[in-house]
Structure 1
Amino acid sequence: MVAAGGAGRRPDEAADRAAAAAAGPRQTWAALPWLVRTAVVWSACLVVIAAGLYLLARITLLVTPLAIALAATFFLAALLDPVQLALRRLRLPASLAALLTVLLLLGILGGLGVLVWNLTANQFSELGDELQQGLGRTRDLITSTLPVTDQQLDGLLDQLRKAATEQEVDPVASARTVTEVFGSALLALVLLFFLLKDGRAMWHWTLRRMTGPNRDVAAEAGRVGWRTLGSYTRGTMLIAAIDAIGIGLALVLLGVPLAFPLALITFIGGFVPIIGATVAGAVAVLVALAANGPTTALLTLAAVIAVQQIEGNLLEPLVMKRQVRLHPVVILLAVTAGTLIAGIAGAFVAVPIAAVAWRIIDSVQRQREAAAAARPAPPAPDDPPATADPAPG
């Protein structure tokens, strides 16, 4: 009897042990404070996201010329898409409209290149001399106003100079770099032609391969992303041109030499938000300090700050619109990450990529919220039958 009873209880005891073993981790997790559980979940998510971004960055580094060509292709296509559409409205075939758009781009770039070369070829050497003089005056100002000796400042400058020149120039690597740049430019032009010609057809082909609500979500996200990229590219070019004209006019009025090269540097720096404008303004102030002294340098600094404030508070909200703007912290992080990953090219493309990615994520989230709001609410459960109060005894 005992043996039989013991044999009969063994399956129950085994089931209890299994249930206790299964419930053990859940009970342990539930016993943790909510702050610890939240920190563990968020840490795991951040580790997964960081690993994915690191893997993507490594792959991008392996195919850097291709990545640069693709980025340049999309930016140029977004910039020139209105031109191509205007040509298509004139009843031109898609191939001819795309070809004329690419030829127009080459003509504008070639004309600007010749003009800039003729105006600034002899002045950039003078710009280097002016910068050296400006740095010398800045050095004298630092040593005269701060508790820093000439020997300490010279030692720091020597260390920076050695760090910048300690790497020897490799002719093979330089030739490879030139070949990669030329190949990337040629590939970008070819891809630009096909993207202008068949871009919309390729996008519709991709959408037709999707089914259900994902098609509508992807279609709206694609429209928002493309619109954002076009607005950002055209708006940045317009704002950079206005900055260059404003600062160039201020330099001419103040009598600062080399105004055109400095305006060109300002225009190029406008494509790297915050950092580019800061560097270009610093160069202009150094040249003004070297050429005309501290009074003109201070006036140049005031003019640079005034132009940048007008651009940031008036022109940028008007031209870029709110849906394209990013917080300055996001811009600084994006530019820093792009520079660390791909150097100067990464600094140029980091902010528009971040803006497009943010707008796509925001569009998908809004569509999901709208779909959830339009979904009918589940029926409410029936009320339980009312129980009669007991009769008083």
Structure 2
Amino acid sequence: MVEDGAGRTPETTPAGKSVPARPTPVGRPAGASGEPSRLAAGPRQTWAALPWLVRSAVVWSACLVVVAAGLYLLGKTAALLAPLAVALAAALFLTALLDPVLLLLRRLRLPPAPAALLTVLLLLGILVGVGALVWNLTASQFEELRQELGQGLERARDFVTSTLPLTDEQLDRLVRQARQGLGAGAPDAVGGVRTAAETAGFVLFALVLLFFLLKDGRSMWQWTLRRMTGPNREVVAEAGRVGWRTLGAYSRGTMIIAAIDAVGIGLALVLLGVPLALPLALITFLGGFVPIIGATLAGAVAVLVALAARGPGVALLTLAAVVAVQQIEGNLLEPLVMKRQVRLHPAVILVAVTAGTLIAGIAGAFVAVPVTAVAYRVVDTVQRHRRAAAEDPSG
């Protein structure tokens, strides 16, 4: 066959006549088709043609969407199960706090069940005894405090009207509007009864769970480890030991620090002649279990009571005493009592307490920090094991 000058091969019909030949594309053999490969490589070529900044933005945006969806589902689940989670966390916190008492009773050759029951009864006895003592010592002071608060409010009213451009009528109107707003946001009686019943139920659940954790906690943990196989068993065992030690150190250290704060501020209130020093010291003790925020609120309550009862001079002295006790506790006692691996950054504590408060109120604020501390130590232990395994392939 003879090619024409343009590189085309004439085609011949069955009758022997020649017809014009179709041109062959340059760079592709005749009869070869590249359409499927072009379609297959199209998306990849389009993606590769995009600038790297656009590709990175797309990938990170997709990851953020997935993470946000997961966090949303986790938050919804946590909100639904918040009372149960708080009760479980409180039971674990109390178990770590009371574990030395249980071990002491076991050394006295008491069986597990009686030792656990006696430990729970000891906790209830302490709580009821402290509550009864505080009530008996301070019940007679509540009427005096009410009168002094009324006088303090009158002094505050006179100060506001004499300092700010407000008349008595305008101030009364603002007070009435505030009371109406508070009354509109107050829960109804039925909701209050239901909330009280649910709280009592979860408190009972936490106490029963505390008994079983004290009685069978170690055997349940060993049962869990026996179900693990391979290198994961060692990692889980080490993470569990570290987490439990962290929880125990945090619970006992927090209790010691809260007791020191309560004693120091209580003595200062007694020396300054502030009424209700014992219940204010108890509030300070309870506030110590919520780092930063709890101590701040407890100190503010003490200063307000001193202002209403004894005037601004004593209130300033009370503020100085509160600040001094908290500074000594934070800079001297806490590093000695708390182990280094238990301490968290203040920003992490604030975020944890805020999240716990939003999810489960005051109870969530109490358990947020120990849960965060334990989770941090467990994750750190797992990461260290993974790094060690990556550096030692033979292991």
Q: 1:251 to 1:40 in 2, by over 3 A?
A: farther
Matched, 1:120 2:138: yes
Match of 1:56 among 60, 65, 74: 74
- Residue identity matched to 1:17: L
* Matches for 1:179-190 after TM superposition, within 5 Å: 179-190=197-208
Cα drift, residue 324 of structure 1:
1.2
Match of 1:149 among 159, 166, 186: 166
Q: 1:207 to 1:306 in 2, by over 3 A?
A: same
Cα drift, residue 67 of structure 1:
2.4
Cα drift, residue 249 of structure 1:
0.5
| In 2, Cα distance between equivalents of 1:65 and 1:225 | 22
Asked whether the equivalents of residues 224 and 360 of structure 1 are also in contact (C-alpha less than 8 Å), the reply is yes
Q: 1:128 to 1:278 in 2, by over 3 A?
A: farther
In the other structure, the counterpart of 1:297 is 315
- Residue identity matched to 2:166: T
Higher deviation after alignment, 58-67 or 324-333: 58-67
In the other structure, the counterpart of 2:31 is 8
- Residue identity matched to 2:31: G
Cα drift, residue 154 of structure 1:
5.5
In the other structure, the counterpart of 2:41 is 19
| In 1, Cα distance between equivalents of 2:392 and 2:171 | 67
**What whole-Å deviation, never above 9, does each CA across 1:26-62 have from its counterpart, x for those lacking one?**
442xx222xx655655554444444333323322332
| In 2, Cα distance between equivalents of 1:148 and 1:211 | 75
| In 1, Cα distance between equivalents of 2:115 and 2:291 | 33
| In 2, Cα distance between equivalents of 1:45 and 1:101 | 49
Matched, 1:111 2:133: no
Other structure's SS at 1:273 match:
coil
In the other structure, the counterpart of 1:255 is 273
* Matches for 1:17-96 after TM superposition, within 5 Å: 17-28=39-50, 31-33=51-53, 41-96=59-114
In the other structure, the counterpart of 1:306 is 324
Asked whether the equivalents of residues 83 and 360 of structure 2 are also in contact (C-alpha less than 8 Å), the reply is no
Matched, 1:226 2:248: no
Cα drift, residue 120 of structure 1:
2.5
In the other structure, the counterpart of 1:196 is 214
Match of 2:302 among 261, 284, 293: 284
Q: 1:43 to 1:350 in 2, by over 3 A?
A: farther
Asked whether the equivalents of residues 86 and 360 of structure 2 are also in contact (C-alpha less than 8 Å), the reply is no
Higher deviation after alignment, 343-352 or 19-28: 19-28
- Residue identity matched to 1:280: A
Other structure's SS at 2:256 match:
helix
Other structure's SS at 1:307 match:
helix
Cα drift, residue 163 of structure 1:
2.6
Asked whether the equivalents of residues 134 and 286 of structure 1 are also in contact (C-alpha less than 8 Å), the reply is no
Q: 1:237 to 1:369 in 2, by over 3 A?
A: same
In the other structure, the counterpart of 2:15 is none
| In 1, Cα distance between equivalents of 2:210 and 2:131 | 20
Q: 1:120 to 1:45 in 2, by over 3 A?
A: farther
Higher deviation after alignment, 45-54 or 273-282: 45-54
| In 2, Cα distance between equivalents of 1:47 and 1:154 | 51
Asked whether the equivalents of residues 145 and 309 of structure 2 are also in contact (C-alpha less than 8 Å), the reply is no
Cα drift, residue 191 of structure 1:
0.8
- Residue identity matched to 1:16: R
Other structure's SS at 1:121 match:
helix
In the other structure, the counterpart of 2:388 is 370
Other structure's SS at 1:9 match:
coil
- Residue identity matched to 1:352: P
Cα drift, residue 136 of structure 1:
4.7
- Residue identity matched to 2:140: N
In the other structure, the counterpart of 1:341 is 359
Asked whether the equivalents of residues 141 and 275 of structure 2 are also in contact (C-alpha less than 8 Å), the reply is no
In the other structure, the counterpart of 1:361 is 379
- Residue identity matched to 1:360: V
Q: 1:32 to 1:104 in 2, by over 3 A?
A: same
**Number of aligned residues:** 371
Cα drift, residue 17 of structure 1:
3.2
Asked whether the equivalents of residues 131 and 286 of structure 1 are also in contact (C-alpha less than 8 Å), the reply is no
**What whole-Å deviation, never above 9, does each CA across 1:189-220 have from its counterpart, x for those lacking one?**
11111111111121122222222222222211
Structure 2 unmatched ranges of 5 or more: 1-8, 10-20
TM-score (norm 2): 0.84
Cα drift, residue 76 of structure 1:
0.8
Q: Percent identity?
A: 70
